[in-house]
Amino acid sequence: MKTIVISGINLFRGGTLKVMQDCIAALSAFAGEDYEIVALVHDTALFPPYPNVRYIPYPRSRKSYLFRLYYEYIGFRRLSVRLQPCCWFSMHDTTPNVIAEKRIVYCHNPYPFFKPGVRGFFLQRNVFFLCLLSKYLYRINIRKNDYVVVQQEWIRQAFKKMFAVNNIVVAPPVTENGEIKRQGNQTTGRKKVFFYPATAILQKNFEVICRAAGILEKEGVDGFEVIITLQKTDNKYAKSIYETYRSLNTLRFVGFLPPEEVNGYYETSDCLLFPSKAETWGLPISEAKTYGKPVFLPNLPYARETVGKYDKVCFFDPDNAGQLAALMKRFIAETPIYDQTEAVHYEQPTVYGWDELVRFLFGGV
């Protein structure tokens, strides 16, 4: 029986955890009686049991980035010598120093494309340094991979220039086959609810939403509420946002939400706000589309590619709270003007969904 190793020891919450979970599920279905899947994870409690999957936990992986570097370049090499895998699939951006017949890295971290500014040093020092160093950490061993997997076409083109690699596979996330679960028709004459589901990380740009809400309150605009998924105890960045804007009557801080509760807010809200300055996809955009909801997005390549062809989208400058406030004001007055968008053209190879990606990557192993 051959061994496929999938490593994702720093994935523990949110969209990146779901990526790891979905990949393991697809690998289990692919494995049959021919492969054993060895999954290196932060905490086994985060993953359900699957046939042909064996978990190895690394609970110290998130205590320090030094642990992560040790595992990537020393510990995993020793493990690869012992397991002798036919393939090593790294799910967290960097390419480990391992021995395997085939090596693959999945890059879903936007830090090479985000500049945190000096403020980031004081609010989220780990993110600040990751943004400065990630481009160089990505570069280590990246050309030793048989495949580099990314989620968007613009990232493929950026990686070609940044790292001089051409063996890049684009795998856009697939959400419920793109089907509309419920048409998001506006209900007239009631309070409009804006929703932003995101973790408290610098690039998520909560400030522009809070400033926009403040502008509307000063103008006397009412009849709306903004729900954001952070709370002051999350981290220094979240505390800064909370302390600065908690006096706004239209802001509601609900904290981190499990997926089922996020879906409930999609159902009951009227519009998704997603002002993040750096993403490798932007999954809430796809999720909001499945509910037929209007979406207000930054005028950035990732957002335009994620939303694709859609008739309920408005773009704005992610640094311009006044511009966002104006869009929100029109929406509250039920007179939105939506922007025109175009479908994305993908080069090859491009695959859709985890089953198709796994067959593409491992079919010849």
Whose structure tokens read 């693959």? 104
Inform me whether the pLDDT recorded for 287 exceeds 90: yes
Q: How confident is the model at residue 177 (pLDDT cuts 50, 70, 90)?
A: very low
What's the pLDDT tens digit per position in 10-60? 888 777 888 899 999 999 999 988 899 999 999 999 999 999 999 999 999
- Mean pLDDT, to the nearest integer, of 59-85? 92
Q: What's the pLDDT score for residue 233?
A: 94
Lowest mean pLDDT among 125-139, 185-199, 273-287: 185-199
Inform me whether the pLDDT recorded for 154 exceeds 90: yes
Q: What's the pLDDT score for residue 174?
A: 79
What's the pLDDT tens digit per position in 227-237? 999 999 999 99
Q: Most distant CA pair in the chain: distance in Å?
A: 68
- Mean pLDDT, to the nearest integer, of 309-336? 97
Domains of the chain: 2-172+348-362 (3.40.50.2000), 177-332 (3.40.50.2000)
Inform me whether the pLDDT recorded for 255 exceeds 70: yes
Lowest mean pLDDT among 79-93, 147-161, 173-187, 332-346: 173-187
Q: What's the pLDDT score for residue 187?
A: 53
Inform me whether the pLDDT recorded for 181 exceeds 80: no
CA distances for 91 relative to 187, 207, 247, 271, angstroms: 42, 30, 41, 32
Q: pLDDT averaged over the chain?
A: 92
- Mean pLDDT, to the nearest integer, of 319-334? 97
Whole-prediction pTM: 0.89
Q: What's the pLDDT score for residue 108?
A: 87
